Structure 1
């Protein structure tokens, strides 16, 4: 099958946009659905919203595992694609899909046995919130295999610079689920459980579509355990990095829950908006992974460096645009998700930190994509651990000890972003990440 490998000499803003814009829709679809889900459940009352915050945080962990799978696959597939071997790039996707499906099954089964204990831990003990979160989580976890299978599919398709098929594969199921959610929650009479069922429908259908895409490539679909083991080893840095992220965000939710139902409900609103904007801004990171990986695979290190500078600048510009939008909606947006005055009041505490972080985060997410595409994931692993252990985690637990509320939690997130920004700019400047070759 013929291919066109794109390096910096032919990369224009239009080419970046042709990869980033479809990826933006794909990245935004899942968190946008979560925002719809939050708005629907939020009007059931304070307890269901708090339960969704607790259960949703666990499923967000699963989604982050999927992000690790996708990003690791994109970098390796893009280098092989840049070296002129599309079949090898797709073969990376086959083995990653088997790995993703297996991990998803383990998560689905594990939540049936451990969901109750996990819900109680995050909710700060037994009670109405923990019970509701447990029921939601056991059902929602059944969508984990499809969720992770879709992540693997996104990874290899981005690696071969195809962002159009993922657009249809993700958008269709999520639109269906967005329609099902309010129908199941309200007229269907399922309440919070209806939200979980809608999640499972979307994720399972999405995973099936990506699996079908592999079949159409006409490559061997046989699992190769030794290749899967290699991918696990090669992905360990991204996995550790993802665990550092999730330890931080799980701790933040646990601390928010200890400030009361209104605080954790407000934290859910602000956090899901944060994840939404982060993933939308990550559209540039997806383009960076694909284009930088292909450039280095083709031996064009100078082009990769120039592309990195360009995408970092674009990330900062996009971050400023989002910050202005979020600031303008401060008095309106929280009311979309909850009619509870206490929840809305708590949301306003986190809002200024949210706005200030966005321009910085735009650059951080773009440069993350550059280094992932280059295969420089060990540096990203170390940086994330230092930023989490030295900034985010101490700040949020200090907020609990000193009773600083959501303001303290979100100040910790700001510190986390600033540390990463400084370190990424230093890495970009020294250029040690730009190593050429089909596989790093």
Structure 2
């Protein structure tokens, strides 16, 4: 009896929603249909995410050859531009990916159902004695003049959410440009650039010119979201590589040959962004009808609602990181230097997990729209399991190169000592970080934006409290302990939603 009770207990536990995440864990790296689909989306997405930081480093190297004042001026301008852009960029691309994937899946499902109905009608006609010629009349050949005219148009998909994303991207881009142009000087002064500093004029000119590229950036991100929703991450990769290559080639020409200096760097960047947008829009109009038949089809209300929710999430997460940086700065310049370098390494490794999150989001959004719950569970469990494996690999690599890597950034003994304190946290938390970012993709794939936003607010409040308490009691080490708690809480929030079978995951309890 005891053995039967034990067996029954394990069977009941196996039915808990949480255990769905451990399904087929032996096949985590299998090259089956699902594994190949994830790889085809995740790898190009990861490369695309890595391309821009690499191009920015090369861009910085060219500017650094002009002078220290110019480099510092560009640095503070880019910090402002990125911070303002982050508020709009992340919500736009994430929402677009989910909405387009859902709509694309719905369209495919309806097409399949229509084809089945047509086949059934044809079978019925045949059963009552209709001949082949009659069928040809009911379904005209594509060789007819009418079909020849409409055939190319019919091949393009009418995805209302794609049109909505482009409209929202254009509006946000124009608002961002105007905001940065009219507030460039006050923002620079707020960032600590003094009115009599030689940096002010240079930084203001650079930020103003750079802001002209905001519409192209937002439109490009909207287009990338559409391609991601269509499970095509290769086209955005090609466009980004073309644009970044143009940026790198234009930098020496405009900066040194034409002697435009920092302004030349800004112009090169803006030209590159519009080139990326043109490539993306050229490829997009070949597959999607971007002009909706009427204004009512635009899903602007839905975009704004979900966008506001993700905006709350971005602000909450950014606030936590900002508080951590400010607390490190209070400990002194050496603590801040070590923290900044280690934080960048910590966040840079997340690019790999972000690519995996994109794959999970696109596949899950499509599966949820089709109500294919079997694939939903399989995809969610697979990307999360791959995330753990990826995190473990990154932990091993970072632990192996930590001593060598720290010497690349500084020779200061005190800074090196602090960096060596940070590296164990960076290495050990990689699996946790990977899971946190992949859980974001899983939640977005389920269009669970509200849960993502409001749990992040709670996580940020608890984490910021830990930052103040632990930094005051344990100093520099306390900051890293608090950041580890921050990532652990993010993972817990993701596990809680799926593990309890709440919200869009309620089907796991049936």
Residue from 3, 19, 34 that aligns with 2:56: 34
Rounded to whole Å, the distance in 2 between the matches of 1:30 and 1:348 is 28
The answer (yes or no) to whether the contact 1:40–1:337 under 8 Å persists in 2 is no
Deviates more, 1:211-220 or 1:276-285: 211-220
Q: Paired residue for 2:277?
A: 207
| TM-score of the pair, normalised by structure 2 | 0.72
RMSD: 3.7
Secondary structure at the counterpart of residue 379 of structure 2: helix
Secondary structure at the counterpart of residue 83 of structure 1: helix
Extract unaligned runs of 5+ from structure 2: 1-31, 112-155
Structure 1 residue 51: deviation in Å?
5.2
Secondary structure at the counterpart of residue 217 of structure 2: helix
The answer (yes or no) to whether the contact 2:497–2:505 under 8 Å persists in 1 is no
| TM-score of the pair, normalised by structure 1 | 0.82
Q: Paired residue for 2:94?
A: 71
Q: How does 1:20-419 map to 2 (within 5 A)?
A: 20-37=42-59, 54-61=76-83, 62-63=85-86, 65-85=88-108, 90-123=159-192, 131=200, 134-181=204-251, 195-217=265-287, 219-221=289-291, 224=295, 227-253=299-325, 268-333=340-405, 350-391=422-463, 393-396=464-467, 404=475, 409-419=479-489
Q: How does 1:14-25 map to 2 (within 5 A)?
A: 14-25=36-47
Rounded to whole Å, the distance in 2 between the matches of 1:52 and 1:346 is 28
Aligned residues: 426
Distance 1:384 1:348, change over 3 A: same
Structure 1 residue 175: deviation in Å?
2.7
1:171-206 deviation digits (Å, cap 9, x = unpaired)? 221233244446666777666555544432332222
Q: Paired residue for 2:152?
A: none
Structure 1 residue 245: deviation in Å?
2.3
Structure 1 residue 77: deviation in Å?
1.2
Structure 1 residue 288: deviation in Å?
0.5
Structure 1 residue 419: deviation in Å?
0.8
Distance 1:327 1:351, change over 3 A: same
Secondary structure at the counterpart of residue 84 of structure 1: helix
Distance 1:350 1:134, change over 3 A: farther
Structure 1 residue 168: deviation in Å?
0.8
Distance 1:262 1:155, change over 3 A: same
Rounded to whole Å, the distance in 2 between the matches of 1:387 and 1:89 is 39
Extract unaligned runs of 5+ from structure 1: 1-9
Structure 1 residue 376: deviation in Å?
1.0
Distance 1:398 1:50, change over 3 A: farther
Distance 1:194 1:169, change over 3 A: same
